[in-house]
Amino acid sequence: MNNQDLLKIAVKAADDKRAEDILALNMEGISSIADYFIICHGNSDKQVQAIAKEMKDKAEENGYDVKRIEGFDEARWVLIDLGDVVAHVFHREERGYYKLERLWGDAPIEDILSELNT
């Protein structure tokens, strides 16, 4: 499996828990932290936690190591470090405040959701 496979697994997990406005940014050549960033949000603390847990569980089920999870208990901004894929799961209000999409506005958006829905 490669980074693209991991990206698809994580995006599908978020989609399965009804994450909203899922974006997958290709960070290759932009960030040395990861090849892909996923940004999405939930509408409640419980939904944010459910999205993050599903991403973690599906990655592990497919043989990927979850390096670290930050912010799970607070459920305002959960960061899931999957190595070459880093997921940012926000509570709706926090996403609007931090606007990570703008910060990395030069990163190309991967069209993963349309691939999953075909």
Tens digit of each residue's pLDDT, the chain (118 residues): 688 999 999 999 999 999 999 999 999 988 888 999 999 999 999 999 999 999 999 999 999 999 999 999 999 999 999 999 999 999 999 999 999 988 888 899 998 877 666 5
Q: What is the pLDDT of residue 1?
A: 64
**Are the CB atoms for 21 and 40 separated by under 8 Å?**
yes
Q: What is the pLDDT of residue 118?
A: 53
CATH fold group of domain 3-116: Beta Polymerase; domain 2 (3.30.460)
CB under 8 A, 24+ apart: contacts of 58-63: 58/9, 58/10, 58/12, 58/13, 59/6, 59/9, 59/10, 59/13, 62/1, 62/5, 62/6, 62/9, 63/1
Q: Where are the domains of the chain?
A: 3-116
